[in-house]
Amino acid sequence: MTATAENGKGGQPMHKPAVVSPEAWEAARKQLLVKEKAQTRARDALAAERRRMPWMAVEKTYVFEAPEGRVSLLDLFEGRHQLIVYRAFYEPGVFGWPDHACRGCSMVADQVAHIAHLNARDTTLVFASRAPQAEIARLKARMGWSMPWVTITDSFDKDFGVDEWHGTNVFYRDGERIFRTYFVNNRGDEQMGGTWNYLDITPLGRQEVWEDSPEGYPQTPTYKWWNWHDSYVPDAAPDKTWVEVSDAGEAAFRAESANEKP
């Protein structure tokens, strides 16, 4: 039997799904879970293919304004190997200026997880706009944003496909050489913000042993590098107690999954 709400959106009746017993609900959940697991595996396979994309050498020199002054694209890496740059629209002519950045870009900014987790995976996240640094600092303070945010001063946005629309570019640093490894925009940007989604678009991925990555890519035991965002120590060995806890949790999960019917 299907339930019908009296007041749906626009005054139209809202037809709700059937209300069933706990047993029937669990059966429906497991039926959907088969497709959800297939989607997860497909997403993992796509990320593995992304890690094998060819790279494009960045030959030009780009300059940005940062709180500490003029910096280069190489500087934005902050010594790490991976750099993610989101082009946010905050500048004269953008709806909301100067009080706000673009509404869509602001939603993206609101979703950004604590960047310490990305940093722990050798990855730096930076937002870039054409607004002056003084305006960016004021906006970040008002909105409670803490990610690095620089000012574009040259053709960086045009050269990397983000002069007229938002987008996320990914770069890899090999010594002082820089390579563009990936780019996503439009609806592909709407999932950005979470640590895992960011890592999945990088050339090194999550860097965990279960991933299908090219030979020689850095990989560490799954879960073991996880930490509180204020407790990461570079090159530190995983906490012994956390290793035991995560091992026990993973074993229990594997046992439960093995007992589930496909």
CATH assignment of the domain containing 99: 3.40.30.10
Q: What is the arithmetic mean of pLDDT over 103-110?
A: 97
pLDDT at 49: 98
Structural domain contains residue 232: no
Residue 73 lies in a domain: yes
Q: What confidence tens digit (pLDDT) does each residue in 199-258 have?
A: 999 999 999 999 999 999 999 999 999 999 999 999 899 999 999 999 998 888 788 777
Total domain count for the chain? 1
Domain region containing 164: 56-200
pTM over 0.85: yes
The answer to the question of residue 242 being in a domain is no
pLDDT of residue 11: 76
Percent of the chain surpassing pLDDT 70: 95
Rounded CA separation 158/167 (Å): 11
Residue 1 has a pLDDT of 47
> Mean pLDDT, the chain, as a whole number?
94
79-104: pLDDT as tens digits: 999 999 999 999 999 999 999 999 99
